[in-house]
Structures are given as structure tokens and as C-alpha cells.
A and B are shown apart, each in its own frame.
Chain A
Amino acid sequence: MVVLDDAVLVQRFLRGDQGAFEALLDRYQKPIFNAALRITNNSDDAADITQVVFIKAYEKLQSYNSKYKFFSWLYRIAINESLNYLQGRRQLEQIDDELPSSDQTPEQSIDREEIQEQIEAALLELSLDYRIAIVLCHLQGLSYREAGYVLDVPEKTVKSRLFTARKLMKDILLRKGIMK
């Protein structure tokens, strides 16, 4: 089966091929959902955001600038929508309440699933700028440049946020005894 690249699918969609849009949806639905999930920590919100992202993409694809990669453009919409969502629902405060208790002692045995939960919790303890830097560069594999475009900030800002985010996460995990 021939795998068409994003640019070809975008061109086909712009020429009226609805199937091309479905192919883009199949390709990016999961990464966008996961990015939104890591930012909002709420599966329902992440699904809503993913829906809004693809509907906006459908409506605005005519204005997409092909000098940027399609997925960067899509992430840009996703990050903006996630931020709007959090702002709208004042979820920042709620997230703090939802965080798992961090009063475990280092002696407690922690299995792999628990470690994953603690990593996710540590990620949510970061402020949004740092969390998004980790989500984009670590979890979604974007380069500094691509993340810079998504966030509309210089590459060096992405680099600096990523540096601080890692350090903060490391400190959180040390404090929780996940790292020794």
C-alpha cells in the first residue's frame, strides 16, 4: 500500500478529496489526543479538544502555509485549544486537586505501572509552559524548531523551557522517591 505524505494528502483534500482528510485524521488523531491528554489530564477534555482541532483544520486548511509541516500546524491548533480549554474551565486549580498523593516514602515498592503514574503526575505538577515543552519535544518528538513554530516562540526559548522542565521533573521524582 502506498503511504502518501502529508503534503500530498493536504493537496488532495484541497482539491475536494474527502478521503484525504480521513487519512490525515487517522494519522494524527491519536498523537493529538495524547498531547491534549497530557496537557489537560482529562480524557473527555482531550477528546473534545481533538474534535475541535480537526474541525478547525478542516475549515482552515485553505489557509495552511505549506512551508511548515502539516503536523506542526495541527499541534499549533491543538496547543492553543488545550490552553483555551484549561482557561475556560479553570482546570489549572482542579488539576492540583486531582494529583495523586505525593506522600509515599522512598521505601515503598513501586511497580512499573505506578512509576508511569508518578511520571504522569510529575508532568502535571509542572507549569503549563514546561509541561507543553515536555509534551511536544519528549512525547511527540518535535524538534526545537518545530516546537518553536507550534508555540510561536524562538527555538532558544523552547530549549530553555525543556531544560528547566527536565530539572523540575527530576526534582519532583527525587522528592517522591521515584529516583534515588
Chain B
Amino acid sequence: MNDGARFDELIQSELDGLISERERKELHDYLARNPEALKHYNDLQALSLQLKNLQSVDPPAYLRTSILNQVHAKAIQQSSIPPPQTFKEALMAIPNSILGKKRAIVVGAVAVAVVAILYLTIDYPPASDEDVSGTIGGAQKAKKYRSEQMTKKDVDLKNARLQKALQNDKLQKLIKSPAFQSKLQNSAIWDALASSALREALASDAVREALANAEVREALAIAEVREALAIADLREALAKGQLREALQSAEAREALQSAEVREALANAEVREALANAEVREALSSAEMREALAIAEVREALSIAEVREALAIAELREALASAEVREALADAAVRDALASAELREALKSGDLQSAVQIAD
């Protein structure tokens, strides 16, 4: 590469903010010796500045409304395709050539699998220690984050990240709010501050933003919820918004008080499920929890394809059907889930396609 090409590249890197210190020194040494190159450089810098100063133009006022009207019309158009009346009907529409004699079992089994994940998010009873060790952190592990009761003087403000976090405008505003001040009278909050994991979480912008939400602050007053936050994966989920959204639901906050639920939450798929509004809504059904207290269902959940099936909106909608819940009460249906053949059927792409006939 000749000198000209080399320095053109360095100038470009400088304009784009991609130049290293060493390269910058090299460039400026060269420019000091070459007035022509210096003028070229200055012209390009001036051009960059002018481009930066180009003012952006506001779109016409009607545009937003016009776009929204069109997308709403599209949404209505899409929803006008009549879906099957119930989940059971949808499955019954699958040709015999696909399901044959397995139809009845599959209807019940898919329904059971659908609700299984819901149960997992609220009251997951591990079949044995071995069953869960590979996927979830464990409530036992969470215990190590529990802290001793503390006094105000124990709060360590020497940590630079924490100090920086406390100087943040949003946090300052939050601290000065009457609601937060009243929370400070609560010893549980001091317990929370004693947790180094929680202090670390406070250093994250996203977590501080989450704390500005009243429901989230309320959730933090619950000892078990704080314990949940001590799990690194959960803090990450909070930062991404999934868990933050979940904490705004009363049922989810209640569910978080169960050690098993916290364990389950350490699993990414379960967190994803909890981020779903329909799933959270379904958390209040006792019948579903009861129906799912069986090992086979949990086993079915370990199959990726089953979890994928759970992502289908129609299947979640099936939860509202009394027929599906009735099927859950049938021991034969639950037994069916123990069958490898049935699980194979659940993995079938044909089955999933058939379930999506509403699309």
C-alpha cells in the first residue's frame, strides 16, 4: 500500500471513530509533513461536521395515524379467518391417516403438556434431586445468598459502582419519593441492601429502571423474591425485561415465593414462558396445578418439541376450554404421557401443522 492509500484509510478511520492511538499519531505526523494532505483531511473533517449538522425533518403529522389505521385494518383482516371453536376441535380435524387410533390419547396428552409448563412456573415438585440438577440452580444454592440482619451502618458505600449507581438521577428521584421513603422504614429493605448480589444488580441501569415500577418495588419487599434476585440468571432476565414484566403480576409474585418456582425460573425456557401474558394469566388455576403433579408430564416437558408446541397460541388458548381441563382429570390420559410412542407423536411436524390450522 502506498503512502497516499495508507493515509486515506487512516483519515477514514479517524472520521469514523475507529482509529487507534498509534494510528492517530502516525496520521498526524504525516499531516504535519504534508500540507496538501492536511488540507484534504481538514476538508473531510469539515464535511463530516456539516453532515452531522444536517437537521432531521419531522415526518408529516398524519403519517403515524395513517400507518396505524392500515395495520389495524390488517389485524382485523387476519383475525377474521374463523379459528376452530376449541382446541379439541382443532385436533379432531386432523386426518385419520396422521393420527389413527392415537387421536384420543394425543388430544389429552397435548393438553396435559400444554398446561405442564404453567405448572412448572408456579409449583414445580422435582421428582428427585437428580432430575433437576442438570437444569436448574436449586433453592439450596440460593440459600448461600441469604444475608444476616444488618444495621444502616453496615451498608457499604465504598463500592465505586454502588456510589455511581446512587448518584444516578433516576435513582435519586426514586429515593426522594414518599413511597420509597416509607419503604425505607421496612427492615426488609435493609436486608435487601445487605445482599451484595442485590447491590450489584442496582448498578445496572436496567435494574434501576425496573425499580421505578411500584409493583417491582413491592415484590422486592418479599424476602423470597430478593432471594430469587440473588440468582445471576434471574438478574439477567430482569435486566432484559422478561422478569420485570412478570413481577408486575400478582400471581407471579406469589409464585416466586416458592423455592421450586425459583429453581424452575433458572431455566431459560421457563423464563420465556413466564414472559408470556397468557401463561401468567393461567397461573391462578388450581385444577391445572393438581393435574400436573405427575412425573410423566415433567418428563414430557424435557422434550424440546413439546416446549415448541407450547409456543403455539392456539394451544395456550385451549387452556380456557373446560373440555381440556376435563381431559386432564382422566388418569388414562396422564398414563398416556409415559408412552414413548406418544411422545414421538408429539414431536410430529404434522401434528404441529394440524394444530396451526387456524392460521
Contacts and interface: CB of A to CB of B under 8 A. Distances in A.
Nearest to B18: A144
Interface string A94-124: 0000000000000000000001100110000
A114 to B, nearest CB: 12
B247 to A, nearest CB: 12
A55 interface: yes
Contact of B57 (A4, A37, A137, A167): A37
Interface in A156-180: 159, 162-163, 166-167, 169-170, 173-174, 179
A163 B8 contact: yes
A69 interface: no
A8 B240 contact: yes
Nearest to B46: A179
Contacts of B240: 5, 7-8
A137 B16 contact: yes
A169 B15 CA distance: 15
A4 B241 contact: yes
A18 B213 contact: no
A116 B74 contact: no
Give chain A's interface secondary structure class.
helix
Nearest to A141: B52
A173 B47 contact: yes
Interface of B: 8, 12, 15-16, 40, 43-44, 46-48, 50-60, 63-64, 66-68, 70-72, 74-75, 209-210, 212-213, 240-242, 244, 275-278, 313
24 contacts: A2-B213, A2-B241, A7-B240, A8-B241, A8-B242, A15-B278, A16-B313, A17-B277, A18-B71, A25-B64, A29-B64, A30-B56, A30-B59, A31-B56, A37-B57, A43-B57, A59-B74, A119-B50, A138-B51, A139-B51, A162-B12, A166-B44, A173-B47, A179-B43
